[in-house]
């Protein structure tokens, strides 16, 4: 039987994660998300913890907003949007900070500046979608001003050689925790370290706040935090390498690029680009991104889905600055490891559908409810059921944000040209995009309305001489000035423009986490990866093989399980 490979289905990924969010927001607590899921337990359970009412209400609101952009008014999506919006707009306190509510499972009530990096983007979305949203506008403005009032401003450098004045604003927070009762208490801290980079994740949202509302305080705070990070913090070396949290660093890099683009400051753009390139150098070509840099031994590292989102976001910001070579990263990362990091198989989960929910814990129908979540710790070739939790609530928020970027940027308008950048199935009121990847080298754009010009972004894996057809007949196209997009003028309603190119299976070798892998690629899609891993194998994309395999009864789940496509090591392929 001729091999047929599984095609990338962004819309299917969106439907699955909406299922997860719908199932794991607790109506008994006003749509409070569950961060902590324990599918490896027998029976499986999920329980509330403090972070549910901290970063998660912001990121899950963003997730649902992104999914609504992809799926429209899908079942329960409006209800979830409203419920999570209500959570974001509750529990505010001193200095405009958002604090978590006092629940039976929480302890000291505090705000974390890292978490404000999740809350402000949610408020930004509300204001961007509805500029008349007075409550969201008020909260965003007060949050920015409150944080600005709490920073230390470094003005004078006092050293053995004398005093010198800092020419630029330099801001840092005195701590990473602000107590609702007590403010800054330097005996209390998160213990995660790296305060300068953890607190700087709000950079992108601060710049966005300025773009949306013209908020000069937000821009000032962004510049001061960026100057501290790139100067006195000494977090990065001269090549912008670092030791620590990739999620925070890559997200901050996206903010630096955005800040540089908005203010016309090249040093911010180049700093963000250098951080991106460093993280890219320790990541794989298919989008496996380590959670930490130089913290663990390579073989002990894993990939948090949040990091993939950050790289997609930063690559998009760099593209907007003219670095169009990063389209290839967005395409590969999204359709490969972002998609593989989703839980598409839950047959191993043992549910107790009769046990009543109590004390912030839930048990019923978890096999169905957990479908579509995102892992917090994949290895390149698998999601181990003994090494790491299989699902992470933070990743369930950020994964859909990345899907939203991919969906929105699949086709763009560039200087009058409707350009196909990414290869998904999508329809709007102006065109329909379809493709045959990874089985055949064919991408099609059918016009539903007249388009002045339309074409396709060219990639190296398309070969040197792709064929352009209009309604099945070859046509001669033109290239944009940078040679990146092949297009024709005057595409009329009903016309189909097609790009054809040879597509062969290419074998590559790549070393990731100290292991050499053999990869089979067809265009931008990796269809197989060897050696296969334990326990839930990734990249089982050959449709001539069974997709899922039962898990042995004797597996000890000391970490947590996760998703398919599934094949256990030792089983026949």
Whether residues 495 and 509 share a domain: the answer is no
| Token pair for 454 | 């339309």
Strands of 450-535 (E only): list them: 451-457, 467-470, 473-474, 478-479, 485-491, 496-500, 505-512, 515-522, 525-530
pLDDT band, residue 42 (cuts 50/70/90): confident
Number of domains in the chain: 2
Whether residues 464 and 525 share a domain: the answer is no
User: What is the percent of the chain with per-residue pLDDT over 70, rounded to a whole number?
Assistant: 94
Whether residues 448 and 465 share a domain: the answer is yes
> What distance in Å separates the CA atoms of residue 309 and residue 330, rounded to the nearest whole number?
10
Whether residues 417 and 492 share a domain: the answer is yes
Q: Is the pLDDT of residue 559 over 80?
A: no
User: What is the percent of the chain with per-residue pLDDT over 90, rounded to a whole number?
Assistant: 84
> 3-class SS at 527?
strand
Whether residues 417 and 495 share a domain: the answer is yes
Task: Quick: pLDDT tens for 121-143.
Answer: 999 999 999 999 999 999 999 99
Q: Is residue 346 part of a domain?
A: no
Q: Is the pLDDT of residue 557 over 60?
A: no
- Identify the residue with better confidence: 346 or 485: 485
Whether residues 438 and 472 share a domain: the answer is yes
Q: Is residue 471 part of a domain?
A: yes
Quote the pLDDT of residue 414: 87
Q: Is the pLDDT of residue 570 over 50?
A: no
Q: Is residue 365 part of a domain?
A: no
Q: Helix, strand, coil: what percent of the chain each, to 5?
A: 40, 20, 40
Mean pLDDT of 356-366: 94
Query: pTM surpassing 0.85?
Result: yes
Q: Which has the closest alpha carbon to 567: 555, 550, 544, 542?
A: 550
- Identify the residue with better confidence: 558 or 41: 41
Is residue 273 classed exposed, middle or buried when 0-12, 13-18 and 19+ CB atoms within 10 A define those classes? buried
Residues 6+ apart with CB under 8 A from 151: 171, 172, 173, 221, 224, 225
Do the strands 36-38 and 152-153 form a parallel or antiparallel pair, or are they unpaired? unpaired
Q: Is the pLDDT of residue 569 over 50?
A: no
Quote the pLDDT of residue 388: 66
Q: Are 118 and 33 in contact (CB under 8 A)?
A: no
The DSSP code sequence of 215-228 is: -HHHHHHHHHHHHH
Q: Is the pLDDT of residue 155 over 60?
A: yes
Question: Which whole-number Å values give the CA distances from 125 to 65, 91, 118, in the listed order?
Answer: 8, 19, 11
Q: Is residue 446 part of a domain?
A: yes
Quote the pLDDT of residue 573: 31
Whether residues 428 and 453 share a domain: the answer is yes
Q: Is residue 144 part of a domain?
A: no
Task: Quick: pLDDT tens for 451-473.
Answer: 999 999 999 999 999 999 999 99
Q: Is the pLDDT of residue 385 over 80?
A: no
The DSSP code sequence of 316-377 is: HHHHHTT-GGGHHHHHHHIIIIIHHTB----TT----TTSPPBTTEE-TTHHHHTTT-B-S-
- Identify the residue with better confidence: 532 or 279: 279
Whether residues 492 and 475 share a domain: the answer is yes
Q: Is the pLDDT of residue 546 over 70?
A: no
Q: Is residue 457 part of a domain?
A: yes
Containing structural domain, residue 492:
412-500
Q: Is residue 441 part of a domain?
A: yes
Task: Quick: pLDDT tens for 296-316.
Answer: 888 889 999 999 999 999 999
> What distance in Å separates the CA atoms of residue 568 and residue 382, rounded to the nearest whole number?
10
Q: Is the pLDDT of residue 237 over 70?
A: yes
Across all residues in the chain, what is the average pLDDT?
92
Q: Is the pLDDT of residue 399 over 70?
A: yes
Q: Cα-flanking dihedrals φ and ψ of residue 499, to 5°?
A: -115, 125
pLDDT band, residue 192 (cuts 50/70/90): confident
Whether residues 480 and 439 share a domain: the answer is yes
Tell me which of 480, 500, 520 is where a domain ends: 500
Mean pLDDT of 241-254: 97
Task: Quick: pLDDT tens for 13-27.
Answer: 999 999 999 999 999
CATH number of the domain where residue 489 is located: 2.60.40
Q: Is residue 479 part of a domain?
A: yes
Q: Is the pLDDT of residue 270 over 90?
A: yes
Q: Which has the closest alpha carbon to 363: 18, 34, 10?
A: 34
pLDDT band, residue 556 (cuts 50/70/90): low
Q: Is the pLDDT of residue 32 over 80?
A: yes
Neighbour count for residue 299 (Cβ, 10 Å)? 10
Question: Which whole-number Å values give the CA distances from 368 to 183, 349, 352, 353, 571, in the listed order?
Answer: 42, 9, 12, 11, 26
Q: Which has the closest alpha carbon to 88: 134, 113, 121?
A: 121
Quote the pLDDT of residue 226: 98
Whether residues 512 and 453 share a domain: the answer is no
> What distance in Å separates the CA atoms of residue 425 and residue 267, rounded to the nearest whole number?
38
Helix (H) / strand (E) element for 46: namely strand 45-47
Q: Is the pLDDT of residue 549 over 70?
A: no
Quote the pLDDT of residue 482: 87
Whether residues 437 and 455 share a domain: the answer is yes
Quote the pLDDT of residue 563: 34
pLDDT band, residue 384 (cuts 50/70/90): confident
Do the strands 177-179 and 25-26 form a parallel or antiparallel pair, or are they unpaired? unpaired
Question: Which whole-number Å values give the CA distances from 338 to 9, 144, 305, 310, 395, in the listed order?
Answer: 12, 32, 7, 11, 10
Q: Is the pLDDT of residue 548 over 60?
A: no
> What distance in Å separates the CA atoms of residue 305 and residue 298, rounded to the nearest whole number?
18
Q: Are 77 and 85 in contact (CB under 8 A)?
A: no
Q: Which has the closest alpha carbon to 83: 32, 118, 47, 49?
A: 32
């Amino acid at each position: 039987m001729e091999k047929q490979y599984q095609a990338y289905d962004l819309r299917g990924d969106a439907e699955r994660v909406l299922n997860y969010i719908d199932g794991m927001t607790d109506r008994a607590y006003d749509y409070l998300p569950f961060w902590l899921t324990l599918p490896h337990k027998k029976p499986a359970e999920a329980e509330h913890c403090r972070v549910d009412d901290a970063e998660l209400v912001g990121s899950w609101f963003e997730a649902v907003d992104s999914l609504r952009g992809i799926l429209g008014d899908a079942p329960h999506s409006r209800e979830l949007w409203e419920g999570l919006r209500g959570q974001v707009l509750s529990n505010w306190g001193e200095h405009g900070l958002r604090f978590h509510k006092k629940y039976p499972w929480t302890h000291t009530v505090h705000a974390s500046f890292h978490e404000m990096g999740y809350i402000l983007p949610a408020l930004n979305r509300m204001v961007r979608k509805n500029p008349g949203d007075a409550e969201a506008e008020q909260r965003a403005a007060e949050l920015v001003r409150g944080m600005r009032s709490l920073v230390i401003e470094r003005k004078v450098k006092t050293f053995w050689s004398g005093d010198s004045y800092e020419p630029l604003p330099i801001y840092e927070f005195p701590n990473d925790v602000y107590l609702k009762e007590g403010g800054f208490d330097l005996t209390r801290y998160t213990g995660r370290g790296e305060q300068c980079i953890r607190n700087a994740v709000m950079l992108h949202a601060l710049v966005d706040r300025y773009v949306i509302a013209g908020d000069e305080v937000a821009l000032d705070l962004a510049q001061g935090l960026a100057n501290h990070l790139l100067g006195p913090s000494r977090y990065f070396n001269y090549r912008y390498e670092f030791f620590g949290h990739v999620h925070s660093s890559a997200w901050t890099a996206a903010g630096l690029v955005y800040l540089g683009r908005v203010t016309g400051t090249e040093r911010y753009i180049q700093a963000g680009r250098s951080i991106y390139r460093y993280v890219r150098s320790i990541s794989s070509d298919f989008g496996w991104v380590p959670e930490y840099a130089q913290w663990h031994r390579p073989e002990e590292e894993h990939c948090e889905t949040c990091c993939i989102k950050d790289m997609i976001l930063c690559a998009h910001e760099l593209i907007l600055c003219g670095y169009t070579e990063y389209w290839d990263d967005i395409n590969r990362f999204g359709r490969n490891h972002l998609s593989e990091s989703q839980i598409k198989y839950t047959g191993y989960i043992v549910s107790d559908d009769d046990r009543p929910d109590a004390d912030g814990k839930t048990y019923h129908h978890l096999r169905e409810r957990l479908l579509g979540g995102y892992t917090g710790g994949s290895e390149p070739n698998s999601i181990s059921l003994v090494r790491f939790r299989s699902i992470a609530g933070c990743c369930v928020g950020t994964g859909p944000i990345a899907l939203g970027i991919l969906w929105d940027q699949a086709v763009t308008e560039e200087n009058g040209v409707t350009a196909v950048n990414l290869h998904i199935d999508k329809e709007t009121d102006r065109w329909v995009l379809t493709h045959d990847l990874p089985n055949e080298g064919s991408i099609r754009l059918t016009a539903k309305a007249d388009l002045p010009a339309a074409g396709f972004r060219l990639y190296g894996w398309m070969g040197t001489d792709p064929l352009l057809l209009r309604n099945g007949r070859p046509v001669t196209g033109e290239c944009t000035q940078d040679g990146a997009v092949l297009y024709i003028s005057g595409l009329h309603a009903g016309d189909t423009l097609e790009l054809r190119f040879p597509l062969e299976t290419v074998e590559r070798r790549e070393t990731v986490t100290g292991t050499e892998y053999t990869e089979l690629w067809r265009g931008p899609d990796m269809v197989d990866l060897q050696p296969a891993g334990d326990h839930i194998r990734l990249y089982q994309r050959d449709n001539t093989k069974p997709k899922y395999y039962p898990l042995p009864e004797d597996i000890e789940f000391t970490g947590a399980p996760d998703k398919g496509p599934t094949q256990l090591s030792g089983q026949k392929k």
